[in-house]
Amino acid sequence: MQLALFLIFGVLAVAGAINLLLQRHPINSALSLVVVMMSLAVLYWSLGAEFLAAAQVIVYSGAIMVLFVFVIMLLNAGEEEHTTGSRIAYVAGFPGAAAIFCLLSFVFLSERKAMGGTDLGGYLSHSANNIAEISRLLFRDLLLPFEVTSILILVAILGAVVLARKEQ
Amino acid sequence: MSPNVLALLPEYILVLAGVLIMLAEPCLPAAASRKPLGWIAILGTALAGLASWYQLQFGTLHAFYGTIQVDAFSIFFHLLIAAVVLVTLLGSLDYFEGHATHAGEYFALTLFGATGMMFMTSSVELLMVFVGLEISSISTYIMAGFRKGQATASESSLKYFLLGSFATAFFLYGIALAFGATGSTNIYAIAHGLETTATPHLAFLALAMLIIGLGFKVSAAPFHVWTPDVYQGAPAPVVGLMSTAPKAAAFAVLLRITFSGFPAMQHRWAILMWVLAALSMTVGNLGALLQRDVKRMLAYSSIAHAGYLLVAFTAFPQDGIAAACFYTATYAAMNVGAFAVITQVSGYDETARSQEDFTGLASRRPMLAALLAFFLLSLIGIPFTGGFFGKFYVFSAAVAAGHVWLAVIGLLNSGVACFYYLRLLAAVYAKPTAESAALTSIPARRVSVPAAVGLTLAAIATLVLGILPGNTLWLTQYAGTSTIIESARQHCAPHPDNCHVELQMEQR
């Protein structure tokens, strides 16, 4: 059952990601991104990280993707045109992506034994539950990065004001 | 004072000043000058620098559950970043006068960017480094596109943003793989985990990804393609800032990751660094030969200088860290100075761009021309300038570790570099020709007092680093030693009884 879920949603995630790249209309790309996010949520859940799965659905598929779609609708973005620049991207991009894929699969396959496996549907930690683990990390060990992220968001807001405001 | 307050004092001051500027900006009338905000920024930066200096007496501080480590190494880079930001702010205080475009936001973004860079240098937790890197990168992406009307500015900002995000993705993936291989994202825990890891290939791939991500940020070849276009389109004071301070911070992170995080793999990553250094020096210098645009030329020269700096990574840890720190300081002083001169010469619209436009500068603006000449001579590495000692220490550290050929490549490259720096210098001191009309068409603005102070500071720093490098050298060696000692301390922390490491340099 778990294996079947993993296979189905793994394939769905990869297919969604490829579709995202191939689609010419931004709305179609955004909707394939929703598919990717949802499949990832199922994969997290099947690994026993149920809190992460719920957060993924609520934050990414819910909040962020809705924003994406809104922005695309507001901008009224039409179909992309393929220029010479993006053909260069095909020539350089696909071999590069293939090379990284091969390198990663080589490393993961050659270290397969050492890394061991995990039971699908197992628990992240056998002693504590998911939420306790994550909150200990987020509000104790990694408290500072968590707090400093607010400066990051502040900088992004400032940037939006600077770059998007109409000049008088 | 709680260590959580004490260790992050400079960052707190910068963030407070930045927020203060943001709150004050809307209170000023729309037509009023934004200079008071600039003065708040300058005051904040100076205070942050002083706070870093104050931290030096406390030795090594830890805060926030081992996320932050303030030691001589981080304090050195804090001081460097504060100085660069100070000179940039002084030089660009009146840059936006008459072009009322978001000068207040410019000052706030500079301070927030500096905060991010300081977080990068004082953090020993890769996730914290990542957040700092993003803060500094995003604020520089925005500042690159500040002259909104111009096509090159938008191109510069967008290109920097896209390629920078790409690099960040590599960095983040590197962190994830490091976590996979060693079970932690803390630099010392990674070093500890590497000794027992069952997956050395995965760990090395993690390091390679981290190096690629940071290689983009410091514009080392072959990850340099964005540099010339971005530097050409961004405003000159912003280029002066982003070619020095974020690079210094990225090099600090690279030093921490390689020497403290992956010391067990030095024989492997030293080869990577060798190749990157040789490539960056050669590509940078040969590329600069072909450029006629002064900012593009300096962009290629910054690639070459990143290469010289990477040479230091092939040396032994203690020498290498000290030499790299010293080189970062000299490079920052002379490069920020050169761009401050260009800011003053070409003004907001930058009509003077190419070498022809700079022909005959000496007869019109003798002081600025003399300063530019001094900074260019330092970039070549003439004795009695900071550039000479910087190169000297880097190459002698590499030779001491047995990398003679790399030093030879570096010296050959310095010879090539002479040619294009001297070509610009000759043009500056030549008679004005008919082609140099661009220079005469610009009304010669008077150099304001703050800008003159900023230029003087950069020039004095370059000169002092060349004549009396002793104090800085001592601080860099202290930084190198304290890094090594702290690594050893963390290493033997599980067995405190056998732990007899002490920092001898503190007594001086």
Q: B350's torsion region: left (phi>0), alpha (psi -120 to 50) or beta?
A: left
Kindly state whether B332 is in contact with chain A, defined as any CB-CB distance less than 8 angstroms: no
Q: How far apart are CA B147 and CA B234, in angstroms?
A: 8
Q: How far apart are CA B121 and CA B317, in angstroms?
A: 17
Q: Which fold has domain A2-124?
A: Four Helix Bundle (Hemerythrin (Met), subunit A) (1.20.120)
Asked if the Cβ–Cβ distance from A144 to B64 is below 8 Å, we say yes
User: Is ipTM > 0.95 here?
Assistant: no
Q: How far apart are CA B328 and CA B325, in angstroms?
A: 5
Asked if the Cβ–Cβ distance from A162 to B205 is below 8 Å, we say no
Among residues B238, B241, B212, which one has the least CA distance to residue B224? B212
Angle at B180 between CA B179 and CA B186, to 5 degrees: 15
DSSP, collapsed to helix, strand or coil, labels residue A123 as: coil
Name the pairing type of β-strands B61-63 and B68-70: antiparallel
Asked if the Cβ–Cβ distance from B128 to A154 is below 8 Å, we say no
CB pairs A-B closer than 8 Å = 93
Number of domains comprising chain B = 1
Asked if the Cβ–Cβ distance from B148 to A167 is below 8 Å, we say yes
A-interface mutation test, from B110, B131, B184, B229, most A Cβ less than 10 A away: B131
DSSP, collapsed to helix, strand or coil, labels residue B293 as: strand
Range(s) of the domain holding residue B129: 3-507
Among residues B248, B378, B265, which one has the least CA distance to residue B324? B248
Read out DSSP for B369-422? HHHHHHHHHHHHT-TTSHHHHHHHHHHHHHHHTT-HHHHHHHHHHHHHHHHHHH
Q: How far apart are CA B433 and CA B355, in angstroms?
A: 12
Q: How far apart are CA B141 and CA B83, in angstroms?
A: 21
Chain B window 160-219: which residues touch A at a Cβ cutoff of 8 Å? 180, 198-199, 201-202, 205
For position B298, what pLDDT does the model report? 94
DSSP, collapsed to helix, strand or coil, labels residue B172 as: helix
For position B508, what pLDDT does the model report? 43
pLDDT digit string, tens, across residues A86-144 = 677 777 778 888 999 999 999 989 888 887 766 665 554 455 577 888 888 889 999 99
How many Cβ atoms sit within 10 Å of the Cβ of residue A93? 12
Q: Which phi and psi angles does B62 have, rounded to 5°?
A: -120, 145
For chain A, give every residue range classified as CATH 1.20.120.1200.
2-124
Residue B371 contacts residue B337 (beta carbons within 8 Å):
yes
Per-residue pLDDT for chain B (508 aa), expressed as one digit of tens each?
788 999 999 999 999 999 999 999 989 888 888 889 999 999 999 999 999 999 999 888 999 998 999 999 999 999 999 999 999 999 988 888 777 578 889 999 999 999 999 999 999 999 999 999 999 999 999 999 888 878 888 889 999 999 999 999 999 999 999 998 998 999 999 999 998 888 889 999 999 999 999 999 999 988 998 999 999 999 999 999 999 999 999 999 999 999 999 998 999 999 999 999 999 999 999 999 999 899 999 999 999 999 999 999 999 988 899 999 999 999 999 999 999 999 988 888 777 788 888 888 888 888 999 999 999 999 999 988 999 999 999 999 999 999 999 999 999 999 999 999 999 999 988 877 765 566 666 666 778 899 999 999 999 999 999 999 988 999 999 998 888 888 888 888 777 666 666 655 544 4
Which residues of chain B are within 8 Å of residue A155 when distances are taken between CB atoms? 109, 112-113, 116, 135, 138-139, 142
Average pLDDT over residues A65-86: 78
Kindly state whether B225 is in contact with chain A, defined as any CB-CB distance less than 8 angstroms: no
**Which DSSP state fits B70?**
E
Read out DSSP for B304-345? HHHHHHHHGGGS-HHHHHHHHHHHHHHHHHHHHHHHHHHHHH
For position B505, what pLDDT does the model report? 53
Out of A104, A163, A167, the one facing B145 most closely (by C-beta) is: A163
Kindly state whether A115 is in contact with chain B, defined as any CB-CB distance less than 8 angstroms: yes
Q: How far apart are CA A27 and CA B266, in angstroms?
A: 48
